[in-house]
Copies of this chain bind each other. A is one copy, B any other.
Amino acid sequence: MAEEPPPLGPLRAATTGEQVAHRLSTAIALGEFSLGDRLPSERELAALLEVSRESVRAALRRLTEAGLIEVRRGRGGGAFVRAQWAESSETSVREALLAQWEDFEALFDYRRLIESLIARTAAQRATDDDRAAIRAALTAFEGSANPAEARRHDTELHLVIARTTHNARLVRLHQLLLSEVSLGVSEEPYTWEIYEEARPHHRDLAEAVLGGDAERAAEVAGEHFAITENALRRLAARVGRDRP
């Protein structure tokens, strides 16, 4: 389990490049840019973020090294979001997982708790507008034509539910957790298998929220978000862990 930080330890200053890299990776994790998408050009990013182009380039170098993006030169080039598992060797995955395993345990536990709270609160606070939005998001999800689309609609549905709490901070926490989990596990591809597993959960969750059944919503959410955790556990096992 991660430690509580000491009250007055050293201050680690993040360079501008690191901060930009964090922003960008978060945006990618939140689906702002999907697989294969091109990020804005360096000059555009520099303008958007109001930093120098050099800082943007420092960030892109980081993301490239992390395997998150791929940079192509020339006209029509730019930084493209890469399929995550593409070239990361299994041993590097294993090392990453093992090194941070305690953190992940805590992170997933945290996420399950928070998402249960969000579901519970959403069920208690849903207005008619919220209900309409949830229904629309659920329909969109269930009509997904391919995994990429399913993933987008999945994210969107959960976002709509988070918004139903009518608390911007909870929404932000939801997004923060989503991005942390996505980046932490390097975003396993969204397969039809996962889709099929998530589908009934989403329906149950939506119905509980729509029906105002807070307890049930909390419970279903708890189970649902165990999916990611289990997927990670399976992955860890596949990669060859020795721990339970």
Contact = CB atoms under 8 A, between A and B. Distances in A.
Interface of A: 1-5, 7-11, 13, 16, 19-20, 23, 27, 30, 32, 40, 45, 48-51, 106-107, 109-110, 113-114, 116-117, 121, 165-172
A215 to B, nearest CB: 9
A7 B19 contact: no
B4 A106 contact: no
Nearest to A10: B50
A16 B23 CA distance: 20
B106 A117 contact: no
Contacts of A168: 1-4, 106
B107 A113 contact: no
Contacts of A30: 7
Given A1-B166, A4-B172, 5 more contacts: A1-B168, A8-B32, A8-B45, A113-B167, A113-B170
B110 A9 contact: no
Nearest to A30: B7
Given A16-B13, A19-B13, A113-B121, A8 B106 contact: no
CB-CB nearest 4 A-B residue pairs: A10-B50, A110-B169, A2-B168, A11-B49
A169 B2 contact: yes
A48 to B, nearest CB: 5
Given A8-B27, A8-B48, A117-B113, A169 B13 contact: no
